[in-house]
Amino acid sequence: MPLRSGGALENEHLRGEVNSGLNARGLPRTFKPSKVGTSTSSLAMAYSIQRKVFYGGTFRVFYFYAVGSEIVVKKSADGVLWQTENSPGFGASSYFYSRAGGLDVLLDSDKIYAQILCYSAVVDYTTQFKKGTLNTTISWGSEKTIFTNANYHIGGSLTKLTTGRLYSAVQVAASPQVNGSYSDDDGENWTKNINIGTTTITSTTGGVQILAMATGKAMCLVKNSVNTLVAFLFNGSTWSSLGTVATGLLSGWGYFTATAVGDVVDVVFIDSAGALKHVRYAGSWGSITTLVSTGCTHPAIVAGDGGRLYVFYVKDAEIKLLKFDGASWLSEKKAFTGHTYNNPAYLSSNQNVQNRKICLVWTEGTASPYEVWFCYLED
């Protein structure tokens, strides 16, 4: 790699070349961002509470070609060259709606779990599910409807507990307002209408994220109608309230996201002043730390190994990165050098490191066709 005038090795992002080690800024070397495809929808990658990317020997990215259209899946061996992969092909995906109702995709070993929120005038609001087997290509199983309600619901989030139980969470404009469904047979059959908790709800702001913790436990984070983030804890058998996590979040869908490693949950969110903030749960909630004081939006977080955290966000029309090295937060950096951004938005990550890969996807553009972009770091 060539040397810059300061003597530091910099990311030149040679096509197809994997970088290794740390550069002089203390960040892992990366590829240059690559364009995955295009969409007619600005919501192609929405929302950051959900995962739209994973690495399982091959990178795979999921996005909407258009709201009310098919899900596009692209795969890449190197993060540079992309080809079309088998889509889950949800039958109700033509009714996909925008109340934080995006696709959430979870990889566990060679199994892929996909969930999407839909609307149909025939069957009202539904949560749809498909399971796939990962090989050279993805082989998808039959579609399941895991939740139905006449009232709109917001979410949606899916996780797999250490017991093997799949758990889905959405927020519903009816009782029980935070609703769960679970499957103990790998998604074949679902127990529905589990009361996770109660929050106020609105059709203009919110979001739900459920996270697996240690020994069969889980946490569900919910943004309510007054932009307060609240939490509920599953102890392996019952749900209970953990109360308020933070107040004064930026109004709208999401603007918070979290990751869990064992019983430690790290949450980042944007407040109404555009500040990026972090708070940790480790048996109880710690104090809220302001990471960046203003101008931030679209947060995404990934937990690496060794207690490392990677927080991506949009600021000054670029994607920035704050890294926690396991002991302290490093200074703000440009996440990916050598790329000219065009209104980046709706960042989504794999939330937990996969084979050292810290993956990020997002949209760019101000009008159709919007572009879907990808890049990754080595943990």
Write out the H or E segment, with its range, that includes residue 367.
Answer: none
Q: Per-residue pLDDT for 9 more than 80?
A: no
* Structure tokens, 108: 């566990």
Name, in order, each residue with C-beta under 8 angstroms of 93's C-beta and a sequence gap of 6 or more: 69, 70, 71, 116, 118, 128
Confidence at 287, pLDDT banded by 50, 70, 90 = very high
Name which CATH class applies to 36-253+348-378. Answer: mainly beta
Distance CA 148, CA 128 (A): 9
Confidence at 17, pLDDT banded by 50, 70, 90 = very low
- The sign of the torsion formed by the CA atoms of 65, 67, 69, 74 equals positive
* Model pLDDT for residues 114-134, shown as the tens digit of each residue: 999 988 766 788 899 999 999
Distance CA 138, CA 217 (A): 29
Average pLDDT on 202-215 reads: 96
Distances in whole angstroms, Cα of residue 321 to Cα of each of 27, 71, 72, 86, 336: 9, 28, 27, 32, 9
What does the angle CA 111 – CA 114 – CA 118 come to, to the nearest 5 degrees? 165
Q: What is the pTM of this model?
A: 0.91
- H helix and E strand count, the chain: 0, 29
* Residue that is written with structure tokens 């020994």 in the block: 215
* Model pLDDT for residues 225-256, shown as the tens digit of each residue: 999 999 999 999 999 999 999 999 999 999 99
Confidence at 67, pLDDT banded by 50, 70, 90 = low
CB atoms within 10 A of CB 60: 22
What pLDDT, on a 0 to 100 scale, did the predictor assign at position 101?
A: 85
* Model pLDDT for residues 311-339, shown as the tens digit of each residue: 999 999 999 999 999 999 999 999 998 89
Domain residue ranges of the chain, discontinuous segments joined by +:
36-253+348-378
